[in-house]
Structure formats: structure tokens, C-alpha cells
């Protein structure tokens, strides 16, 4: 048997972290078994589906490295297949037309509520005679299509994550609507039905999805049986929770994959973290691995039943590890869009060597890619603002003379090198008869506006290359006076 799995997002919003984690688990399982990973777009909700959301989903999966083997298939292009399947169930007597109005259903629900009962359809139109159907249609009533569910039936399956699962037909809310109302023929087929038709047609062997779909599984198993199809294996993975143990939501600051990208997370760091959300590798000490490395070890015996808590600190740490080991040329490519979004001006080609030198300077201090914006701001502006500590340093006794000495020494240095910079500092220390610490702190405050920051000599060299060191030294002398 060739393993065939699918991810089936709805284009009613951008690709969310929960859907992406489900895609990761499907991809890992398929690759572990040498199987196929199939992409299906469930866009039957025509009112809420948007092409821009579809684009976002496809771009997000590609960015994460979750390449698919077949698809994307669009449900909106398969309506004839669904309607044909509905008609087969009608012809076999396994489904029927229900003419119950919304007002009648509301009355039924209110009566059940008053009796303390769970809401369920009472199957009142399951056995209508042709005359009764004709009478309802003469009234102008439209009909939904309902699939028959026997209350006494027990539905059992072995979940790859949760073990034996059992539901009774009486717990499924009565006969299930599988197609919306329509004046003639059958209307728009609904989720629980079309997902089964698709999985049968695409020969899906394993359905891997979040535990919030468990309630659908019993209904879908009945549909597989009714259509004479082999039932796939099911694996219901734990939900992603916030640190308080509640289901993760936008209130927790977690949104779409594209937003994670804008927040400065790398694809490798994010997908590595998602792999650990509910699954633990055999070597519990290993936390950093590629998708391909994880696929070699992945199996549902190590997927947890309990919810997976989203830990921002852990994600930040993992992300920083990937940033720190990214080659300078690639990291520069990753940072350029963030600098551009911040409005920093540079020529990507002409300034490439300088940009890579800047990346080398700040890379080890980055946790997220977006951190490069504030950390490199002083290299993209003509002047800097002095912090309180920086201003205080410039007013220290001897600071002005030190800076004037540096300016004088620079006049003999058309282009500064690291050795020349060190020589200037030594020269000023000797001539001014001051401690090296005063020279270094005053120089840093003058060049960067603060007494803390990246390596001073490398910062000075970068500013010298673009002609900003002398102007900042002169301004600092003025500030000190």
C-alpha cells in the first residue's frame, strides 16, 4: 500500500499556524513512508472563499518547504462529482429529501431545550410518501438532502493517536444534512459529505487532522460505508494551546503563517518548532532538525494526546539558532526586505559588500530577522540621537579632547582599516595621557549615540566606508560643548 495523505485548507482566511502544523504532520508521515502528500482546497463556501486566501495558503506552504506531490485540487471544480454521489445515495434509499422549514426546526430545538435534551433532528421526513413530498413541493418548500443515521449503530475506529474510539448513532444529532436546500435537484453539498467523496476519489489512506474533527469522524465513517469504500485510518492530533491551556487564538498574538514571516521568523525555525508541537523525537535531547531529518523518525506513537502549548520563548530560541548558522550571503538576502520595509536607503548591488559586513556585525545578536531593523538603524541614518548615557559620556572630562584627537588623526587616513583604527586609539591614549576606556566610550557615544552596542571597531569601519564617522564625531564635539 502506498501511503496517501492530504491537507485540505479552506480559503476563507490566511494559512493559520494550526493548519500549517497539520500540514507538517501529514508531510512528515508521507515522507517517512515514501508516500504522497496531496493538496486540496476546500472552497465550497463560495461566499467566504477568496482567491487571495488561496494564494496565501499556497505561498505559505511553499515558504515552509511543504512541497506537495499532487494538486492543488479545488472542490469548487468538482461539484458535478458530489451531486452525482448525492444522487446515488438517494437512489439507494440511503438518503432522502427533507422539507422541514427553519421555523419548524427552531420549534423542535426549543422543545428539546425545554426538556433538557441535546438538540437533534427527529427524522420526521425520513419515510415520506410520494404524495407527501408532492404536497410539500406544491407549498413551495425546498428540500435539503439528509443521510440516514441509525440510532442503534455503534461506530468504532482505532485512532493512531488516541487508540480505540467509539460513538453511537444516537449521539450524532439525527439524520445528517449532506446537501443544502435547492429548488430542484440537490443543492450545494456540505463538508462532511464532500470530504469523504474527495478522500475516496483521491485514494487517501490516512486522514491526519486536529482533534477538533473527532466529532465528524463517526459520521464520515458511515458515509464511507454507504459508498462502499475502504475506510482510511485516522489520526487526530492535539490542539495547539496557549500557555494557560486554552485553545490558541488571535488574542494570543498568533495569526497566519505570513504574519509569522513578517514578525521575522525563518521558515526553517518555524517549521522546526511546529514539528515539536505535539510530537517528540526518539532522542529527547535533539531539538534542532530539518524536515527531512524529522521525517526519518516521525511516527504517531510519539504524538501526544494532550494539547501542545505554544511557547514563544522556545520558538524565539529555535529561530535564533537558525539565524546564527545561516551563511552571511543568504542572511543578507533574508534581511534586505525588512530594511526596505523600514525605508532604509541602499543599493542592493553596489552596497552588497558593505551590507554583508553589516550582517556579519549584527547576526549573532539577532533572535528574529526583524531585529535587524532597530539594531542597524544607526548605519542607515545621517545622524543619531544621543541617549542619556551617551550624552553624559560626551560631557565627561577629557571626552572632547579625545574626539578632537581622533578627528585630527583621521585626516591622515583616506580609508580606515581595522589596524589603522586601533593605531588611532593607541595614539590618542598616548597623546592625551588618558585611559583607553575613556577613548572607547567617547568614540562609541559619538558614533552610535549610546554607550552600548555592537563591536565598536567594526561599527566605525562601516560608518567610515559611507562617510558618516567624521560628521558624527564633529556633531558629538558640538554636543559636548
Annotated binding site: 250
CA distance 43 to 198: 13
Closest CA to 297 of 313, 315, 279: 279
Strand partners, 168: 154
CA distance 394 to 338: 32
Burial class (CB in 10 A: 0-12, 13-18, 19+), 360: middle
Annotated binding site for ATP: 250
Q: What are phi and psi of 413, to 5 degrees?
A: -125, 90
* 250: annotated active-site residue: yes
Overall residue count recorded for the chain in this entry = 481
Q: What are phi and psi of 7, to 5 degrees?
A: -115, 135
Q: Which one is catalytic: 250, 325, 330, 435? A: 250
Catalytic residues: 250
Amino acid at each position: 500500500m502506498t501511503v496517501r495523505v492530504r491537507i485540505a485548507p479552506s480559503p476563507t482566511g490566511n494559512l493559520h499556524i494550526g493548519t500549517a502544523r497539520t500540514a507538517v504532520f501529514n508531510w512528515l508521515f508521507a515522507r517517512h513512508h515514501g508516500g504522497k502528500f496531496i493538496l486540496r482546497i476546500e472552497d465550497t463556501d463560495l461566499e467566504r472563499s477568496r482567491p487571495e486566501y488561496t494564494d496565501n495558503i499556497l505561498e505559505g506552504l511553499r515558504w515552509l518547504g511543504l512541497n506537495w506531490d499532487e494538486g492543488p485540487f479545488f472542490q469548487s471544480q468538482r461539484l458535478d462529482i458530489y451531486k452525482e454521489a448525492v444522487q446515488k445515495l438517494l437512489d439507494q434509499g440511503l438518503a432522502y429529501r427533507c422539507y422541514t422549514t427553519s421555523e419548524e426546526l427552531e420549534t423542535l430545538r426549543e422543545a428539546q431545550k425545554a426538556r433538557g435534551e441535546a438538540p437533534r433532528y427527529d427524522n420526521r421526513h425520513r419515510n415520506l410518501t410520494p404524495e407527501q413530498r408532492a404536497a410539500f413541493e406544491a407549498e413551495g418548500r425546498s428540500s435539503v438532502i439528509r443521510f440516514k443515521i441509525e440510532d442503534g449503530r455503534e461506530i468504532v475506529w482505532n485512532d493512531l493517536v488516541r487508540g480505540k474510539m467509539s460513538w453511537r448513532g444516537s449521539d450524532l444529532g439525527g439524520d445528517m444534512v449532506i446537501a443544502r436546500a435547492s429548488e430542484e435537484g440537490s443543492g450545494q453539498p456540505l463538508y462532511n459529505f464532500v470530504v469523504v467523496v474527495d478522500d475516496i476519489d483521491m485514494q487517501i489512506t490516512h486522514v491526519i487532522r486536529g482533534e477538533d474533527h473527532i466529532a465528524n469522524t463517526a459520521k464520515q465513517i458511515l458515509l464511507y460505508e454507504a459508498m462502499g469504500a475502504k475506510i482510511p485510518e485516522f489520526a487526530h492530533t492535539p490542539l495547539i494551546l496557549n500557555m494557560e491551556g486554552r485553545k490558541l487564538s488571535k488574542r494570543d498574538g498568533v495569526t497566519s503563517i505570513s504574519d509569522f514571516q513578517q514578525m521575522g521568523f525563518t521558515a526553517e525555525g518555524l517549521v522546526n518548532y511546529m514539528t515539536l508541537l505535539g510530537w517528540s523525537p526518539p532522542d529527547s535531547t535533539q531539538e534542532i532538525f530539518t524536515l527531512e531529518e524529522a521525517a526519518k523518525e516521525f511516527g504517531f506513537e510519539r504524538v501526544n494526546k494532550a494539547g501542545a502549548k505554544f511557547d514563544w520563548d522556545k520558538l524565539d530560541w529555535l529561530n535564533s539558532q537558525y539565524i546564527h548558522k545561516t551563511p552571511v550571503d543568504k542572511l543578507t538576502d533574508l534581511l534586505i526586505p525588512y530594511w526596505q520595509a523600514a525605508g532604509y536607503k541602499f543599493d542592493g548591488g553596489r552596497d552588497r559588500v558593505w551590507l554583508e559586513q553589516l550582517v556579519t556585525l549584527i547576526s549573532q545578536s539577532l533572535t528574529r530577522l526583524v531585529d535587524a531593523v532597530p539594531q542597524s538603524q544607526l548605519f542607515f541614518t545621517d545622524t543619531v540621537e544621543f541617549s542619556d548615557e551617551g550624552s553624559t559620556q560626551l560631557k565627561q572630562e577629557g571626552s572632547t579632547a579625545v574626539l578632537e584627537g581622533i578627528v585630527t588623526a583621521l585626516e591622515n587616513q583616506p580609508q580606515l582599516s581595522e589596524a589603522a583604527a586601533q593605531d588611532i586609539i593607541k595614539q590618542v591614549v598616548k597623546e592625551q595621557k588618558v585611559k583607553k576606556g575613556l577613548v572607547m566610550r567617547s568614540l562609541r557615544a559619538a558614533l552610535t549615540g549610546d554607550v552600548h552596542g555592537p563591536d565598536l571597531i567594526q561599527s566605525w569601519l562601516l560608518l567610515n566606508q559611507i562617510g558618516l564617522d567624521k560628521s558624527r564625531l564633529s556633531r558629538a564635539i558640538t554636543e559636548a560643548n
